[in-house]
Amino acid sequence: MLRDGLQNEDRVLPTARKIELVERLAASGLRRIEVSSFVSPRAMSQLADADAVFKGMARRPGGIHAALVPNLRGMERAIDGGADEANLVMSASQSHNRANLRMSREASLRAIRQAAALASTAGMRVAAILTWCRRLQDDADIHSISLCDTSGMAYPALVKEVVGSVRDVCRGNTLALHFHNTQGLGLANVFAELESGVVRYDGALAGIGGCLYAPGATGNICTADLVDALEVSGYPTGVDLDALINTARDLEKPLGPATPGQVMKAGRRLSGPIAAHHGPAG
């Protein structure tokens, strides 16, 4: 929390000195550092150079350089500065929220919603995921949460980290995972969480699809590829793979042969599962 420290000092440190502090904290082995905040420079002159600090500092692989963000404008700056994580803030106390952020709690909630939406399209890791999952569970009495990698930028290590934290927070909830195959890692992402007991995964027939708001994103994993991979790994799905492949091939006729599904083109393998039996997945 370098940010919290610096913002309460009367003396304003030069940008180069802040950069040096961040780099030395990271070198000492701290993995997650809240570097600065992208708030109004008038509200917090001590941290008015957040953009320059983020752009000037060296980054270590695996390090998480976070920033405090109060609104959409702040999130735009955080993304531009390459922040790895945005900590979206508001106060539970109405008077404190008004004094600190000059808005009502409801207005803050709206600002957080907009900022979080922007962050997820930009593929940023957001502490807000956890906050919202907790609220969906506690305030809205939701019992099943589907985590969606809409841009398809997730990778197995990230999936393990995010899903692991969500699982800790939302113990009463069934988790489902929804991966797009943009980077070809959809199936790898499924297998990253399979052992830990997530039993619901989305697929798309023939792998078609994309996302209107995530340019470049391709469709979900092809359902037949998913079923095939699960079955041969010893996770029975209860799905008739041959029937699924036929349906996917029929879809290809009107759509043209460019659908992404692979098992539907290669045909299913002839040998059965080799791995031990696990509980059902699907």
Residues forming contacts to ligand COA in the complex (CB under 6 A) are 7, 37-40, 43-44, 68, 70-71, 73-74, 77, 89, 100-102
Mark 116-129 as b/e (b = at least 16 C-beta within 10 Å).
Answer: bebbbbbebbbbbb
Structure tokens belonging to residue 239: 């799905």
Tell the smallest beta-carbon distance from residue 230 to Zn ion (Å).
19
Report what 46 binds from ligand COA, Zn ion, none; CB cut-off 5-8 Å by kind.
Answer: none
Residue 121 near which of ligand COA, Zn ion, none (CB within 5-8 Å, type-dependent): none
**Hey, how many other C-beta atoms are within 10 angstroms of the C-beta on 10?**
5
Return the number of the residue (68 or 126) whose C-beta is nearest ligand COA: 68
The one-character DSSP state at 218 is: B
Helices (H), 65-104: 72-81, 94-101
Please identify, using beta-carbon distances, which residue of 156 and 209 lies nearer to Zn ion: 209
Least Å from the CB of residue 215 to ligand COA: 25
Q: Which of 133, 148, 211, 222 is catalytic?
A: 211
- Partner interacting with residue 151 (select from Zn ion, ligand COA, none; CB below 5-8 Å by kind): none
Residue 78 binding partner per list ligand COA, Zn ion, none, with a CB distance cut-off of 5 to 8 Å that depends on partner kind: none
121 - beta bridge partners? none
For residue 211, indicate whether it is catalytic.
Answer: yes
User: Which among 156, 148, 217, 162 has a CA at the least distance from the CA of 185?
Assistant: 156
Distance CA 268, CA 77 (A): 49
Measured in degrees and rounded to the nearest 5, phi and psi for residue 24 equal -75, -35
* Structural tokens at position 177: 């995972």
The whole-angstrom separation of Cα 43 and Cα 46 is 9
In the complex, minimum distance from the CB of residue 245 to ligand COA, in angstroms, rounded to a whole number: 51
**Partner touching 74 among ligand COA, Zn ion, none, CB below 5 to 8 Å by kind:** ligand COA
Q: In the window 123-162, what residues touch Zn ion (CB under 5 A)?
A: 150
Question: Residue 178 CB, nearest distance to Zn ion (Å)?
Answer: 5
Q: How far is the CB of 20 from Zn ion (least distance, A)?
A: 42
- Cα-flanking dihedrals φ and ψ of residue 147, to 5°? -90, 125
Could you tell me which of 149, 239, 233, 241 has the C-alpha nearest to residue 191?
233
Instruction: Rank residues 54 and 201 by Cβ distance to ligand COA and give the closer one.
Output: 54
Give the angle subtended at the CA of 37 by the CAs of 35 and 43, to the nearest 5°. Answer: 145
Closer by beta carbon to Zn ion, 148 or else 239: 148
Kindly tell me which of 39 and 263 has the beta carbon lying closer to ligand COA: 39
Tell me which residues touch Zn ion (CB under 5 A). Answer: 150
